[in-house]
Amino acid sequence: MGICDGRVVVITGAGRGLGRAHALAYAAHGAAVVVNDVGASLSGEGRDDSPAEDVVAEITSLGGRAVVNGDDVSDWDGAGRMIAQAIDTFGGLDTLVCNAGIVRDRMIVNMSVDEWDGVIRVHLRGMFCPVRQAVDHWRAMSKAGTPVAARIVTTSSGAGLFGSVSQANYSAAKAGIAAFTVVAAAELSRYGIAVNGIAPSARSRMTEEAFAEMMRAPQSGFDAMDPANVSPLVVWLGSAPCHVTGQMFEISGDQLSIAEGWQHGAVFDKGTRFEPDEIGAIVSDLERESRQATPVYGA
Ligand code: NAD
């Protein structure tokens, strides 16, 4: 018995890297999988169905069930086709894993508006479109009185939670995904939909050059940066037994934690409106009383 026996899962960006590992893991745990991937370059250019086709071939050769979807996650109609394909092919939809992503790293002083827009589009619009299409399906089921145990897993990043130098576009997108995750969890629980996110760390084409030393596979022993190490959490978050919603998990090799997120800090209560020239001293006191933020990566 697999933890996802009988479930139908859509995974975006599942032709390579983490998404591929998630697709193989879901299939191994009993799910039927829609392997979505547009087959783009790391910066989001071009199309190629072969990465998704290879993953589907790998799953089916192991006795699992999977189909290719080549739609662009940030295309509204394409996202609709992806969700409809799951329902038409496998008879339903239980879990959506939003994983597709690109990077266009640049310092802000050199970043073009296209580099900004491309990254924001794939990560944020590319999460919203499939979520919105899937939620339509689950909300209709819920209103018809059919029990729903739907799950959405979003993919943020340490860059989104803490910031990352030369990745302002990506960090902003991933912070947006973290915020969306808690709002979606709050709005959608009434329909039986749980929404959680991950901030993973693993070897893929996105990281193997930028963090070469950290990502290198060891000669022997536990290969902490194998993307397959992230997938057990993602499979559990997409399963019916998952009992949490609105959480953001950091996962790296054998390390799992819940990110604590923004919190209200110490409050100075003046009792009336502040004057600009008194604020500096008050802020110094508040800084002393507040927890230090995790440093921005690369700062
Ligand atoms: P990857 O480049 O190996 O995989 C991303 C996949 O998304 C690619 O196969 C690509 O073709 C696909 N894709 C891109 N644009 C798409 C679109 N518009 N529609 C459909 N598919 C599209 O990278 P990865 O490291 O496996 O990244 C997976 C996710 O994890 C991304 O969201 C990434 O930002 C996030 N992430 C990765 C790490 C890490 O350590 N690898 C860390 C933090 C977050």
How distant is the alpha carbon of residue 237 from its chain centre?
12
Ligand 1 pocket check for 18: Cβ under 6 Å: yes
The structure tokens 């996802």 sit at 4
CA of 102 relative to ligand 1 center, distance in Å = 6
Q: Is 191 a catalytic residue?
A: no
Ligand 1 pocket check for 229: Cβ under 6 Å: no
Between vectors from CA 177 to CA 192 and to CA 135, what angle results, nearest 5°? 30
Compute the average pLDDT of residues 82-100. Answer: 98
What domains can be seen in the chain, in order of their start residue? Answer: 8-258 (3.40.50.720)
CA of 112 relative to ligand 1 center, distance in Å = 21
**Ligand 1, residues 99, 169, 226: which to mutate, most atoms within 8 A of Cβ?**
99
Ligand 1 pocket check for 215: Cβ under 6 Å: no
pLDDT at residue 160 is higher than 90 = yes
pLDDT at position 141 is 97
pLDDT at position 275 is 98
Ligand 1 pocket check for 13: Cβ under 6 Å: yes
Lowest mean pLDDT among 123-127, 179-183, 190-194, 258-262: 258-262
Q: How confident is the model at residue 159 (pLDDT cuts 50, 70, 90)?
A: very high
Phi/psi of residue 142, nearest 5 degrees: -60, -45
Q: How confident is the model at residue 145 (pLDDT cuts 50, 70, 90)?
A: very high
Between vectors from CA 263 to CA 260 and to CA 269, what angle results, nearest 5°? 160
Compute the average pLDDT of residues 234-239. Answer: 98
Ligand 1 pocket check for 16: Cβ under 6 Å: yes
SS3 for 271? coil
**Ligand 1, residues 11, 37, 211, 255: which to mutate, most atoms within 8 A of Cβ?**
37
Ligand 1 pocket check for 153: Cβ under 6 Å: no
Q: Side chain identity at 158, as an amino acid letter?
A: G
How many other C-beta atoms lie within 10 A of the C-beta of residue 34?
28
Close Cβ partners of 239 (under 8 Å, ≥ 6 residues apart): 3, 4, 7, 29, 95, 151
pLDDT at position 11 is 99
Beta 255-258 vs 95-97: how paired, if at all? unpaired
pLDDT at residue 158 is higher than 90 = yes
Render pLDDT for 1-43 as a digit per residue (tens, 0 to 9). 799 999 999 999 999 999 999 999 999 999 999 999 999 999 9
pLDDT at position 209 is 85
Compute the average pLDDT of residues 188-208. Answer: 96
Q: Is 157 a catalytic residue?
A: yes
Rounded-to-integer distance, Cα 213 and Cα 152, Å? 33
Q: How confident is the model at residue 210 (pLDDT cuts 50, 70, 90)?
A: confident
Q: How confident is the model at residue 116 (pLDDT cuts 50, 70, 90)?
A: very high
Q: In what order do the strands lie in the sheet with 65-69?
A: 65-69, 32-36, 8-11, 95-97, 150-155, 193-201, 248-252, 255-258
Compute the average pLDDT of residues 210-228. Answer: 93
SS3 for 158? helix
Alpha-helical segments (H) within the chain = 17-28, 50-61, 76-90, 113-120, 126-143, 158-162, 168-188, 212-215, 231-237, 276-289
Query: Mean pLDDT, the chain, as a whole number?
Result: 97
CA of 27 relative to ligand 1 center, distance in Å = 19
pLDDT at residue 175 is higher than 80 = yes
**Atom nearest to 211 CA in ligand 1:** 40
Render pLDDT for 37-76 as a digit per residue (tens, 0 to 9). 999 999 999 999 999 999 999 999 999 999 999 999 999 9
pLDDT at position 288 is 96
